[in-house]
Amino acid sequence: MRSGPVGESKEVAARSRRGRPGFRRAAWVALGLGLILSLAACGDASNANVGDASGAAGSGTIAKPAPRRVQLVWPTPNPAYAAGATPEAYVQPTESGLLESGLFGSVRSGGRQFHEGLDLFPIERDKAGEALDPVFAALAGVVRHVSANAGASSYGRYIVLEHPDETPAVYTLYAHLASVESGMGPGVKVAAGATLGKMGRSAGGYTIPKSRAHLHFEVGLRMTDSFSAWYARRGFGSPNPHGLYNGMNLMGVDPLLMYALERAGKLERMDALFEALPIGLTLRIAHAGEPDFIRRYPSLRARDGAAEGLGGGWEIDVSGTGVPVRWKRLSADEVAGWKRDEVRIVATHAEVLAANRARDLVDKKRGVDVPGEDLQTVLQQVFGLR
């Protein structure tokens, strides 16, 4: 889901209600404790040496720290996923009632509408039927954006975290909140599992009925530091109250894939999530500069030996939903004779593109593959193309 252009936001400090039933709290504490214990056992790569050195005093050896694995917290109190249940036990479908409509991808309106996150239903409601579940940070991170004005985005009230300890430093997003936990604001550090707010059904421009209150949860990458320039050029005709954390600058990937990789022990680093994404196309672009996107996420760049800042262009593998996930430098020779910022699609994967038909990535023009509307947007944002 994308937060569309909306009016000026008036920040309203929202208070969340604390407390939840004892059994659930106990379960959560137990889970949290387990997490803390396993973190303590693993150590963090950045401070492991300090801990090991003191711990090993007198023994003469320094234990090698175990590799740091990404450790995720489920963003709601629903224990179903952790218990191995199928998505029926946690996914909130749209009015269609089709389970897939609450999943990530081209899952709505017969596959023609893209859903950029995972919708999770509550397991606790008050007497009036409103959701009561707290919403938790999936990973330790830093609050980058709190939009407390429900009407200022199709996300309703939402929070964006960035996760600088991860590689790449993904964002996570928590939308349709009923309220935001007090103390949440840009720059605030949160632990994995910290309460961010309360699940709800806030939404700007439309109504989510009580029966379908849910958390819209996203994980992904931020496209550009120059979002305001792109937003102005597109001429939406309304201010952007969300700065860099407007949904149009955030590109989600499948949250369930992330959790599945973690469960399978394959999420050594967050990179594994992006390596696992099906590739829809490969393009080449005659753009010599280094976009802030690839400086922000350098692990997505192949170790090609090219010196920083040198090169004539890029070759990029784009996921089936439009995320530029693998970058390789091209020499000036490889784009010799190309127009500045010329884009050529050099490979397509028809079955991946077909599975993501709500995303218009490749069109045919006189028999030649050219960027479709959604890929054009990505190129505009990342490379500043007009």
Binding residues for Zn ion, rule: CB under 5 A, are: 117, 119, 216
**Closer by beta carbon to Zn ion, 117 or else 122:** 117
How far apart CA 181 and CA 176 sit, in angstroms, is 14
For the bound state, the minimum distance from the C-beta of residue 215 to Zn ion, rounded and expressed in Å, comes to 8
Task: Please say which residue, 117 or 371, places its beta carbon nearer to Zn ion.
Answer: 117
Residue least distant from Zn ion (Cβ): 216
Sign of CA dihedral 284, 285, 286, 287: negative
**Quick one: tokens of 136?**
């938790």
Between 216 and 242, name the residue whose CB sits nearer to Zn ion: 216
Residue 55 Cβ vs Zn ion, minimum distance, rounded to whole Å: 45
Nearest-approach distance from CB 119 to Zn ion, in angstroms: 4
Which of 102/372 has CB closer to Zn ion?
102
Of 174 and 383, nearer to Zn ion (C-beta) is 174
Check: CB of residue 261 under 8 Å from CB of residue 272.
yes
Which CB atom, from 119 or from 254, has the smaller least distance to Zn ion?
Answer: 119
> Which residue, 216 or 284, is less far from Zn ion as judged by CB?
216
Closest residue by Cα to residue 248 from 205, 278, 207, 218: 218
Task: Tell me if residue 39 falls in helix, strand or coil.
Answer: helix
User: Residue 251 in contact with residue 218, Cβ under 8 Å?
Assistant: no
Nearest in space to 319 (alpha carbons), one of 73, 91, 116, 100: 116
- Find the shortest distance in angstroms from Cβ 263 to Zn ion: 22
Structure tokens given for 296: 């922000």
List CB contacts of 383: < 8 A, sequence separation 6 or more. Answer: 285, 287, 291, 341
Cβ neighbours of 93 (radius 10 Å): 20
Q: How far is the CB of 355 from Zn ion (least distance, A)?
A: 19
Tokens of 339: 């127009």
CB 311 within 8 A of CB 330: yes
Closer residue to Zn ion, CB minimum distance, 201 or 284: 201
DSSP 69-129: ------SSS--TTTTT--GGGTB---TT--GGGGSSEEEEGGGTEEE-SEEE--S-B-TTS
Rounded to a whole number of angstroms, the minimum distance from the CB of residue 302 to Zn ion is: 33
Q: How far is the CB of 117 from Zn ion (least distance, A)?
A: 5
Provide the minimum distance between the beta carbon of 158 and Zn ion in the complex, in angstroms, as a whole number.
11
